[in-house]
């Protein structure tokens, strides 16, 4: 089933259940506390918190998302993209678990010929929060899922809150068993590589009070209006339904792998390391396309830096695959040809997008020549002095003057057998940021935006460095 068809079925299923179809918001988050839209719920935050009255009781969308936190997973796991699309259905004080759960099951298990996704029940598993007897009862009694397929998990994976006072509540997730060859039996609690999380259902039903940490916080009582927020990974469902091994091999992404491997003269599937690089290229090129499409421009901070880093990582991966000639514009064209089927504006705006991408590649190529010389000298000096660690100041200079993302410096240093004083580098970055902030403060007054959605922020990184230092996801 084509990705576009999975999307169509999603929207028509929930439209048939009286949901208003809401177009994807921009990747540039409409919430001022987030750099990017990291989940389908982000555009609906004001309605979910009750800050603004919702113009509809029910909504559904396929939301473009970027999660920089997942960058290190890309190409290595089967299921993490820096860009992906989250299908969502939302209830603002309207239906609750009793509808959200059976509908999710209905869409997932209805045979393909009848408009559903046609997953086989024998491949499906469900998790609920350990104390959520209500959800457990709905899954087992109302829906009729076998109790040995419904696992109770703790707060870590199965409880959602903003991280501060506000709505909170249990989650329930649907997993697909991608095959016994991928790991041990036993369901999602045992092995993530085998059991693929496709859909998260969040039940916002309680009011969280002040204090407490990630778990063990005070709960003041039930919300007067309970909400539903769900998110299903479009690419994950696509790769499972298309019989592929991972999300980079789906119809919307794979053509870039094909184009990149043809340029490099390597065969995808022949070598693990090359395969990871090809998947990174395909992922980052698509993220770059979508971000530039939403108006982000490469730069040295914030969103621009994330974009710069993605594009430069893609160029770098191509070079490691043996391609020195410019390649990004061509690969971006391939990606656009696929993505424009769902996002036609990419086609009309492509002249501009292509120029931005090509200019960034060109800038990076110039920088790479100069930066590589600096780095090589630093490595030589380090080794000559009997050390094994490139000093922080050099990494900072490479970042600040030559636009070298720190992971590029780390990678290139490690190829030459030395490490980098990363801690020191981050301190220098913090100092620089504080200087910039002090500067900005002296130029303007006004309070910083206070985020209601701390947890999304914590999990996905507000701007630059947190997201880059965290190599693993905090939720599972
Ligand atoms: P995971 O544990 O696999 O990292 P998650 O729990 O962080 O996923 P949620 O925040 O629950 O993900 O998001 C809802 C859904 O969005 C997930 O169930 C998954 O299908 C999809 N999803 C999340 N992150 C990604 C990603 N980086 N790439 C592709 N799909 C994703
Ligand atoms: Mg989840
Ligand atoms: Mg995650
Ligand atoms: Mg998870």
Among 19-33, 77-91, 231-245, 462-476, the least confident range: 462-476
109: CA distance to ligand 1 center in Å?
A: 20
Report residue 444 as tokens.
Answer: 């303007």
Residue 284 CA to residue 309 CA, distance in Å, equals: 9
* pLDDT, position 212: 83
Q: Mean pLDDT throughout 444-452?
A: 39
How many other CB atoms are found less than 10 A from the CB of residue 33? 16
* pLDDT, position 444: 57
Which strand (E) or helix (H) includes residue 130? Answer: none
Q: Mean pLDDT throughout 35-61?
A: 96
Report residue 209 as tokens.
Answer: 């009070």
How many other CB atoms are found less than 10 A from the CB of residue 185? 9
Among 32-36, 140-144, 447-451, the least confident range: 447-451
Residue 14 CA to residue 95 CA, distance in Å, equals: 13
Neighbours of ion ligand 2 (CB under 5 A): 200
Residue 22 CA to residue 11 CA, distance in Å, equals: 9
Ligand 1, atom nearest to 476 Cα? 2
What distances in angstroms separate CA 132 from CA 92, 153, 205, 206, one per listed residue? 21, 10, 11, 12
389: CA distance to ligand 1 center in Å?
A: 36
Model confidence band, residue 460 (pLDDT cutoffs 50, 70, 90): very low
pLDDT in tens, 72-111: 899 999 999 999 999 999 999 999 999 999 999 999 999 9
Model confidence band, residue 459 (pLDDT cutoffs 50, 70, 90): very low
SS3 assignment, position 376: helix
Q: Mean pLDDT throughout 159-182?
A: 93
395: CA distance to ligand 4 center in Å?
A: 34
- Contacting residues for 315 by C-beta, under 8 A, at least 6 apart: 327, 328, 361, 364, 365
Report, in angstroms and rounded to the nearest whole number, the Rg of the chain calculated over CA atoms: 23
Residue closest via CA to ligand 1's atom 31 equals 233
Does residue 406 have a pLDDT over 50? yes
Percent of the chain having pLDDT more than 70?
93
């Amino acid at each position: 089933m084509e990705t576009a068809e999975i999307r169509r079925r999603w929207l028509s299923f929930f439209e048939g259940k009286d949901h208003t179809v809401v177009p994807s918001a921009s990747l540039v988050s409409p919430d001022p506390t987030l750099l990017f839209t990291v989940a389908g719920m982000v555009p609906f935050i004001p309605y979910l918190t009750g800050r603004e009255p919702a113009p509809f009781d029910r909504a559904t969308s396929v939301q473009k998302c970027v999660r920089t936190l997942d960058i290190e997973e890309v190409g290595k796991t089967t299921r993490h993209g820096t860009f992906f699309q989250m299908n969502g259905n939302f209830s603002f004080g309207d239906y609750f678990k009793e509808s959200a759960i059976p509908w999710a099951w209905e869409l997932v298990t209805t045979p393909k010929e009848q408009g559903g996704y046609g997953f086989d029940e024998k491949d499906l598993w469900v998790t609920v929060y350990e104390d959520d007897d209500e959800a457990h009862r709905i899954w087992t009694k109302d829906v009729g899922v076998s109790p040995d397929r419904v696992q109770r998990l703790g707060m870590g994976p199965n409880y959602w809150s903003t991280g501060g006072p506000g709505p909170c509540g249990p989650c329930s997730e649907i997993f697909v068993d991608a095959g016994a060859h991928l790991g041990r039996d036993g369901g999602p609690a045992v092995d993530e590589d085998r059991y693929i999380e496709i859909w998260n259902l969040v039940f916002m039903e309680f009011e969280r009070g002040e204090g407490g940490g990630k778990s063990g916080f005070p709960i003041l009582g039930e919300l007067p209006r309970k909400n539903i927020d769900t998110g299903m990974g479009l690419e994950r469902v696509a790769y499972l339904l298309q019989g592929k091994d991972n999300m980079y091999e789906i119809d919307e992404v794979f053509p870039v792998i094909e184009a990149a491997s043809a340029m490099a003269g390597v065969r995808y599937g022949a070598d693990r390391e090359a395969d990871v690089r090809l998947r990174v290229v395909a992922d980052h090129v698509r993220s770059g396309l979508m971000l530039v499409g939403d108006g982000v421009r490469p730069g040295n901070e914030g969103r621009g830096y994330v974009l710069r880093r993605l594009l430069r990582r893609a160029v770098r991966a191509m070079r490691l695959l043996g391609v020195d000639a410019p390649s990004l514009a061509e690969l971006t064209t391939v990606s656009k040809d696929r993505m424009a089927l769902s996002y036609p504006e990419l086609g009309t705006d492509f002249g501009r997008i292509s120029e931005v991408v090509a200019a960034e590649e060109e800038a990076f190529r110039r920088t790479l020549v100069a930066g590589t010389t600096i780095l090589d000298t630093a490595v030589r000096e380090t080794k000559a002095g009997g050390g094994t660690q490139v000093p922080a100041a050099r990494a900072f200079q490479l970042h600040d003057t030559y636009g070298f993302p720190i992971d590029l410096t780390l990678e290139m240093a490690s190829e030459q057998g030395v490490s980098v004083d990363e801690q020191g580098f981050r301190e220098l970055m913090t100092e620089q940021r504080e200087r910039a902030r002090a500067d900005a403060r002296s130029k303007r007054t006004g309070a910083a935006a206070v985020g209601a959605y701390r947890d999304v922020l914590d999990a996905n990184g507000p701007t630059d460095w947190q997201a880059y230092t965290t190599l693993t996801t905090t939720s599972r």
